[in-house]
A and B are shown apart, each in its own frame.
Chain A
């Protein structure tokens, strides 16, 4: 995950409202909601960052160190990958 590029799944449909991001896909019902730093992370994924770049950007935005937030971001990305919203590419 450290060197590969992280990208939003091409089939992800999404909207933001009130700082939250809502996700939908054609092959399932319902919506997923990302709030707070998870919503910010989703916006940054538009650029296709590496994991390290994403952590660095989020740390800078939240006035924290990379070490402090890395476990949370890793956990968020694992969940996003598991649910099919994020792809990793070389």
Chain B
């Protein structure tokens, strides 16, 4: 049912009725996956059939989501003022950018945090500005200099509980390393919000980032990022030639195909826009292998870190990455332990690489076999 709500207005006109018994669980998913906006519009248009009590409950949750989105936009305008004053270029990513450009109305698309991309050369300057606005970084970098060498983003939280992700890359791991940040900055367009002229990724890069987020962000993929993929492809003038050129340059072929296939399922595979958009895009064997490090159980067993080691160019940089991962600072480990995240001690961190060695020895033939099978079927 949540899947159908995520696909509201795309293809399926059959009304959705929700029983009293299923409502609490459905509402829980709708809230956690930020689908309250789509659900509210669905109710307003008579597609989602719920009781008046259920409607009131949903509207209450949508109101909370909208107030949070507004608070984040207010933060964005304040941050933009500070970054502009400091001459730090930045790009607005994900929620705030997508809600105001790809959806009929930003109410359709709540967002829970602010994502901002800055260049590596401006990283420390931007960190200082964010902290001056009352934000504290959730986790320190694992090792001094890690952020600008390999880091994707630093999550910050303020006293109100608002979250701000300062990005240097779009995603973790090899795919993040393969996307050229300067090209991201070159491919931007204007986003006007609260009277301010900001920059967002242009339509092709917005689509590619939505694919990256949908495929690589969570396992299994979340519904709203999948909806974003369909929404951007159908509502904005995304040019196939540009998508294919950038996806090839950034080695995103496998990611884009994975996102398109998964997002197509959201609308019952009936939307022809997505497959046409990526027709002719090639996914190389290495990209497909790396994708599995994100989208299969290997991710939790250190597969992503191992793929990143392979993708980092140069022996010295590889060694630095391994050192940063295996021997992070005490400060980092302590912060992780307080945050309740896994692998908060040296012993636990070492357990994963030792696990790799054991598995690599025992499972090489199986890995090769599954790669061959994958190639045959694709």
A contact set with B: CB distance below 8 Å: 9-18, 20, 22, 24-26, 31
The 7 closest A-B pairs by CB, nearest first: A10-B195, A18-B59, A11-B195, A26-B77, A15-B66, A17-B63, A24-B70
B78 contacts across to A, CB distance below 8 A: 26
* Secondary structure call for the B interface: helix
Determine which residue in B65, B66, B71 has the highest number of CB atoms from chain A within 10 A of its CB, and name it: B66
B235 contacts across to A, CB distance below 8 A: none
- A12 vs B65: C-alpha distance when bound (angstroms): 18
B372 at interface by CB-CB < 8 Å = no
Q: Give A25 Cβ to nearest chain B Cβ, in Å.
A: 7
Query: Which residue from B77, B81, B106 sits with its C-beta under 8 Å from A15?
Result: B106
Task: Assess whether A15 is in contact with B70, with CB atoms less than 8 Å apart.
Answer: yes
- A64 vs B377: C-alpha distance when bound (angstroms): 68
- A34 vs B81: C-alpha distance when bound (angstroms): 28
Could you list 21 A-B pairs, sorted by A, with CB under 8 Å?
Answer: A10-B195, A12-B194, A15-B66, A15-B67, A15-B70, A15-B106, A16-B66, A17-B40, A17-B59, A17-B62, A17-B65, A18-B40, A18-B60, A22-B66, A24-B71, A24-B73, A24-B74, A25-B74, A26-B78, A26-B194, A31-B70
Q: With A25-B194, A26-B78, A26-B194 as given contacts, are A13 and B63 in contact (CB-CB < 8 Å)?
A: no
Q: With A15-B107, A17-B107, A26-B77 as given contacts, are A31 and B67 in contact (CB-CB < 8 Å)?
A: yes
Determine which residue in B62, B69, B194 has the highest number of CB atoms from chain A within 10 A of its CB, and name it: B194
Task: Assess whether B67 is in contact with A22, with CB atoms less than 8 Å apart.
Answer: yes
Additional A-B contacts beyond A17-B65, A20-B63, A24-B71 (5; CB < 8 A): A13-B194, A15-B70, A15-B106, A17-B40, A22-B63
- A11 vs B193: C-alpha distance when bound (angstroms): 8
22-78 of chain B: CB within 8 A of chain A:
40, 59-60, 62-63, 65-67, 69-71, 73-74, 77-78
Q: Give B129 Cβ to nearest chain A Cβ, in Å.
A: 15
Task: Assess whether A16 is in contact with B193, with CB atoms less than 8 Å apart.
Answer: no
- A8 vs B62: C-alpha distance when bound (angstroms): 23
B59 contacts across to A, CB distance below 8 A: 17-18
Q: Number of B residues contacting the other chain (C-beta, 8 Å)?
A: 22
A20 contacts across to B, CB distance below 8 A: 63
- A9 vs B74: C-alpha distance when bound (angstroms): 14
- Minimal Cβ-Cβ distance residue in A for B56: A18
A18 contacts across to B, CB distance below 8 A: 40, 59-60, 62-63
Task: Assess whether B107 is in contact with A13, with CB atoms less than 8 Å apart.
Answer: no
B67 contacts across to A, CB distance below 8 A: 15, 22, 31
B107 contacts across to A, CB distance below 8 A: 15-17
Q: Give A24 Cβ to nearest chain B Cβ, in Å.
A: 4
Q: Give A36 Cβ to nearest chain B Cβ, in Å.
A: 15
- Minimal Cβ-Cβ distance residue in A for B68: A15
- A15 vs B65: C-alpha distance when bound (angstroms): 10
Determine which residue in A14, A15, A18, A31 has the highest number of CB atoms from chain B within 10 A of its CB, and name it: A15
Q: Give B356 Cβ to nearest chain A Cβ, in Å.
A: 47
- A59 vs B62: C-alpha distance when bound (angstroms): 29
Q: Give A21 Cβ to nearest chain B Cβ, in Å.
A: 10
Task: Assess whether A13 is in contact with B81, with CB atoms less than 8 Å apart.
Answer: no
Task: Assess whether A22 is in contact with B195, with CB atoms less than 8 Å apart.
Answer: no
Q: Give B108 Cβ to nearest chain A Cβ, in Å.
A: 11
Task: Assess whether B74 is in contact with A13, with CB atoms less than 8 Å apart.
Answer: yes
- A65 vs B67: C-alpha distance when bound (angstroms): 35
A11 contacts across to B, CB distance below 8 A: 77, 194-196
